[in-house]
Amino acid sequence: MRYFIELSYNGKEYHGWQNQPNALSVQEVVEKGLSTLLGQPIAIMGAGRTDAGVHATQLFAHFDTAVNFVPKDLTYKLNSFLPIDVAINRIFKVKPEAHARFDAISRTYLYRVALKKNVFTFDNAYFVKQDLDVEKMNEASKMLLEYKDFQCFSKSNTDVKTYYCDITYAEWFFKDDELHFVIKANRFLRNMVRAIVGTMINIGLGKISVDELHTIIASKNRSEAGYSVPAHGLYLTNIEYPEDIKL
């Protein structure tokens, strides 16, 4: 049987989602927990990779096993086994061909910018001291929907076959003492969201104009875009799948 597992994690202590040869990953601790509880080696495939320090409020992965278990019971046991910063939300059966990565229709990210120094959220949001022109930042965000090729925001030396992404939503809004950026697309390139946010902040600071974003995207050159904001403010918040993948 193939199962989907929905989980959340605080990425502070991890070197990203994907297994690493010499660093702790979220994938590693979840695989260890499943393998121990099911009594056989379990490999899981995630919906995507998050970089070191990035969080997820919702991520899906799939795994195969012939071991019979009650999903609700395994969810409870796995949560007891895993460290406090990784939580299993649910486990459910899917069709044998269902794939956590390739069947995903869309992914949504949130980036949190703190506008006020806060001793309780400093490691969950990126603090920006200067005033930001949010109207200009939203004007620039709307421009993202006009393009498909986002090579300028991609980490260099990646092994992707295409830099095309279909962005369907991108907006900045205030929430309490923070400024939040939410972006939704069918796929994202490595470091893409953090590079977009850094570029938008530069626009909000008046370092570059809104119109210059056209030139930056057309350049397909990472060095033309803004800086990459810190990982600790980034959250993967939602992944959508077709309803028919479930059994």
pTM score, whole prediction: 0.94
Cβ neighbourhood burial of 39 (10 Å; 0-12, 13-18, 19+): exposed
* Nearest CA-CA partner of 231 in 202, 200, 190, 203: 190
Summary mean pLDDT of the chain = 95
Amino acid at 139: E
Of all residues in the chain, the percent with pLDDT exceeding 90 is: 90
- Predicted confidence at residue 161, as pLDDT, reads 84
What pLDDT digit, counting tens, does each position of 147-195 carry?
A: 999 999 998 777 788 999 999 999 999 999 999 999 999 999 999 999 9
Half-sphere exposure of 38 (CA within 13 A, CB side): 22
Give the model confidence (pLDDT) of 65-75 as tens digits: 999 999 999 99
195: buried, middle or exposed (CB in 10 Å: 19+, 13-18, 0-12)?
buried
Q: What three-state secondary structure class fits 158?
A: coil
Best CA proximity match to 166, nearest among 107, 123, 121, 228 = 107
CA atoms lying within 13 Å on the CB side of residue 54: 25
Q: Give the pLDDT band (50/70/90) at residue 29.
A: very high
Residue 160 has a pLDDT of: 80
pLDDT of residue 58: 97
Show contacts of 70-75: CB within 8 Å, 24+ apart. Answer: 71/3, 74/37, 74/38
CB burial string 120-156: b at 16+ within 10 A, e below: ebeebbbbbeeebebebbbebbeebeebeebbbbbee
pLDDT in tens, 198-223: 999 999 999 999 999 999 999 999 99
**pLDDT(246) > 90:** no
Let me know: does 149 contact 163? Beta carbons within 8 Å: yes
Geometric angle at alpha carbon 78, from 74 and 84, rounded to 5°: 150
**In Å, what is the CA distance from 69 to each residue of 50, 66, 75, 92?**
29, 9, 10, 11
The whole-angstrom distance between residue 77's C-alpha and the CA centroid of its chain comes to 26
Token look-up 């403010």 returns 233
Evaluate if residue 25 carries a pLDDT over 90: yes
What was the pLDDT predicted at 181? 98
Confidence of residue 247 (pLDDT cuts 50, 70, 90): confident
pLDDT number for residue 49: 84
Instruction: Report the pLDDT averaged over residues 77-92.
Output: 97
Give the pLDDT confidence score for residue 112 in this predicted structure: 98
Give the pLDDT score at 155: 84
Active site residues: 51
